[in-house]
Amino acid sequence: MELVTVLQLPQQPTPSFAIDFGVRFSSSSTTNSSPLRVMCSALSTPSSLGQIALNCTEVVKSEKGNLVETVESSQSTSLLDLIDQCKNTMQLKQIHAHMLRTSLFCDQYTASKLLTAYAISSCSCLIYAKNVFDQIPQPNLYCWNTLIRGYASSSDPTQSFLIFLHMLHSCSEFPNKFTFPFLFKAASQLKVLHIGKVLHGMVIKASLDSDLFILNSLINFYGSSGAPDLAHKVFTNMPGKDVVSWNAMINAFALGGLPEKALLLFQEMETKDVTPNVITMVSVLSACAKKFDLDFGRWICSYIENNGFAENLILNNAMLDMYVKCGSMNDAKDLFNKMIDKDIVSWTTILDGHAKLGNYDEAHCIFDAMPHKGTSAWNALISAYEQNGKPREALTLFYEMQLSKDAKPDEITLICALCACAQLGAIDFGHWIHVYIKKHDINLNSHLATSLLDMYAKCGDLDKAMAVFQSVERKDVYVWSAMIAVMAMYGRGKAALDLFSSMLEYNIKPNAVTFTNILCACNHAGLVNEGEQLFKQMEPVYGIVPQIHHYVCIIDIFGRAGLLEKAASFIEKMPIPPTAAVWGAFLGACSRHGNVELAELAYQKLLQLEPCNHGAFVLLSNIYAKAGNWEKVSNLRKLMRDSDVKKEPWCSSIDVNGIVHEFLVGDNSHPFSQKIYLKLDEISEKFMSIGYKPDMSNLLQLSEEDNLTEQSLNVHSEKLAIAFGLISTASSQPIRIVKNIRICGDCHAFAKLISQLYDRDILLRDRYRFHHFKGGKCSCLDYW
């Protein structure tokens, strides 16, 4: 019982209730001869189902020919059969109209058949289902369950709970073994752990906790809601398990980030003599894909081949996905070419596989070869570009999609496009998408809202990000976490902590991402004690086991605050082996605080794990430069030249009137390059005229951006972008810059002075956070 919360519920059926039920049942029988019923009977011409069918056929014939073929072959087809044979909502509405005209609707059984068709068939239409339900005088439990079931699979599963609550008050029958699987389905869709736990309590109280269907749907619910441990408790304690129970549990492990447990469970099935089915194999392939276990994946594929599984599209897609995720494009291509049936999932999987490996030409070929280029096809390519560091290409495609008339952007397209805008700092394009959302009345759900507020924040408009956050009616953990991340990015630690408290007050349970963001906020604001406390509470209070990135955050918090010894002893006591990121954070702290001895230790540890880490070279050489040890700086440079250290092209970009301009270090490829360098000369003179002397220690230091084969005095990309901003934007406009690495000390001082001398706000986003330069000061208060 410690597993669930049991709330105050209606009493279980008792013998006295059974008698009461009987009485009510007989009184409800009286309804059959109620005045309404009598009237209906009198109005109803047909007296047999055969006649009803005939009559209905005539109606259909006269109004629309669609159903004629279906019913003409059998005159005796009943109305109920006709409902089952409906192929679209229009046909169903015709029968509905006929039922109303002939008063057949007054028969509850017939009405409930119509309700079922409207609620759950292939021609479902939930608004009509609700309408029909509301017209039934005293809906029985079957009708209530059907409506709950319909909404559980809809885009608005919350309705299932509202209907259920209404049912508890209005229906004379208690929820039964059919009710709960539908409710757990709705809870799974919404991932609302607290509601599911209450329902679990009701199941126990109603003595339904041995029903196989309920327990299987419960495993699925806990698995979908991020609680594989609770799913496993249900699974372990259930008296009898069938293949569905095993499948649900395998899937719960895979979904819960425990793919190795999913694979072990599959192996255990054999020892328990449970025969796996197609769904088992799909779930196991999904676990292999999540574990990047190509060997096991290949073994599963041969198992499928050797055990006579019939050709199945979903199974083929799962194999395809496994090959792609495990990095074997050759296997994936072979399978894809062999597949007779392909759907949008097959095409998208193979397309994304090519794009992830950077084979954009092949990805485009796949896109061009797709038989139906609907929205999904466009989304596949746009998201492939966006998620693989090609935001400019993603936005170009998004633009092309607007021009093509075969597909309209949907929520996913817009999310991808917003993410691309955020990466580029393209605020004008991002704002245009916001207007598009409003103009087309697109529902601002939590996914879209999260992308929108993230875009505004990353493009430097905190007010708009906040406004979007406040406009979201139902804020889930992702929306809250995203807003906390925004506050972290802007160095507003206190505001992030306030948001965290508010989300707890709203009963939103923080997840691992929330903690990464809140620890990051503490880090950027120097809130050492608060960060340490939250980290200590993660497991005992919130049930979240700290992962490696949480450890990195806490080391960063200590290190940035200069508590190097504390950080070092923390690393020593870590229960998991320190990774390169851990040593990188520690090395950064040593560099900032000039501790040569500890830096050398961290450098050695880091290079053992990542021999080609370019950042490690730069950080250590900065420390040597600061300490005036030029010989060691020179040795490091030589070592770096000789080694195979590779770095991504670091750049700064600036959005001017909707066009994003990119600059590399010492870049002179821009059409306005000459003007930019003239502006930099002017700035330099202006700086000197007020007696500003560049910080030589800064200038002599290496930045990550410096090309080590040349002098380190190259003009950093953000200086070029700022100079371009000054000559190409109105003096009232802020300059918005995005840089893909951390800003160096010299450029930080440069931006502060520009903001003062030119009276310009500069909003600069670096790899980790935002800097708002205004009147000679930075929002980070020089703590970054």
Partner DNA sequence: TTAGGGTTAG
Beta carbon nearer to DNA, 102 or 251: 251
Could you say whether residue 383 binds DNA (CB under 7 A)?
A: yes
Among 77, 94, 102, 349, binds DNA (CB under 7 A): 349
Could you say which residues in the range 274-293 bind DNA, by CB under 7 A? 277-280, 282-283, 286, 289
717 binds DNA, rule: CB under 7 A: no
Contact 382, 394 (CB under 8 A): yes
Among 56, 67, 83, 143, binds DNA (CB under 7 A): 143
Return the half-sphere exposure (C-beta side, CA atoms, 13 A cut-off) of residue 462: 18
If one asks whether residue 345 binds DNA (CB under 7 A), the answer comes out as yes
H/E run at residue 770:
strand 770-774
Contact call for residue 354 and DNA (CB under 7 A): no
Asked if 284 and 300 count as a contact pair (C-beta separation under 8 A), the reply is: yes
CA distance 381 to 400: 12
CA pair distance 234, 218, nearest whole angstrom? 8
Element (H, E) at 419: helix 411-424
| Binding to DNA, residues 187-206 (CB under 7 A) | 188
Phi and psi based region of residue 659 (left: phi greater than 0; alpha: psi -120 to 50; beta: remaining): beta
Smallest distance, DNA to C-beta of residue 772, A: 32
- Whose Cβ is closer to DNA: residue 320's or residue 743's? 320
Q: Which is nearer to DNA, 379 or 728 (CB)?
A: 379
Q: What angle do CA 408, 409, 413 make, to 5 degrees?
A: 155
- Interface residue with DNA among 44, 91, 102, 145 (CB under 7 A) is 145
Q: Which of 21, 59, 123, 142 binds DNA (CB under 7 A)?
A: 142
With 0-12 CB in 10 A as exposed, 13-18 as middle and 19+ as buried, what is 591? buried
Cα 532 to Cα 526: distance, rounded to the nearest angstrom: 11
The answer to whether 580 and 611 have CB atoms below 8 angstroms apart is no
Nearer to DNA, 248 or 744 (CB): 248
The reply on whether position 109 binds DNA by CB under 7 A is: yes
Give CA separation, 441 vs 379, 397, 419, 638, in Å: 20, 23, 20, 60
Nearest-angstrom CA–CA distance, 782 and 607: 29
Structure-block tokens of residue 268: 């255990």
Q: Are 79 and 52 in contact (CB under 8 A)?
A: yes
Does position 117 interact with DNA (CB under 7 A)? The reply is no
- Which residues are registered as beta bridge partners of 477? none
Q: How far is the CB of 217 from DNA (least distance, A)?
A: 4
Contact 105, 136 (CB under 8 A): no
User: Which range in 340-348, 483-491, 576-584, 718-726 contacts DNA by CB under 7 A?
Assistant: 340-348
Question: Counting contacts by CB under 7 A, is residue 160 touching DNA?
Answer: no
The least CB distance from residue 27 to DNA, in Å, is 16
451 sits near DNA (criterion: CB under 7 A): no
Query: How far apart are CB 207 and DNA at their closest, in Å?
Result: 13
Residues 204-263 that bind DNA (CB under 7 A): 211-214, 216-217, 220, 224, 242-245, 247-248, 251
What number of residues does the chain have? 784
Please report how close the Cβ of residue 321 comes to DNA at its closest, in angstroms. Answer: 4
Structure tokens at 676: 């930019």
Under the binding rule (CB under 7 A), the answer on residue 339 touching DNA is no
- Please tell me whether residue 314 binds DNA under the rule CB under 7 A: yes
Name the residues that contact DNA, by CB under 7 A: 108-109, 112-113, 116, 140-143, 145-146, 149, 176-178, 180-182, 185, 188, 211-214, 216-217, 220, 224, 242-245, 247-248, 251, 277-280, 282-283, 286, 289, 313-315, 317-318, 321, 325, 343-345, 348-349, 352, 375-376, 379-380, 383-384, 387, 412
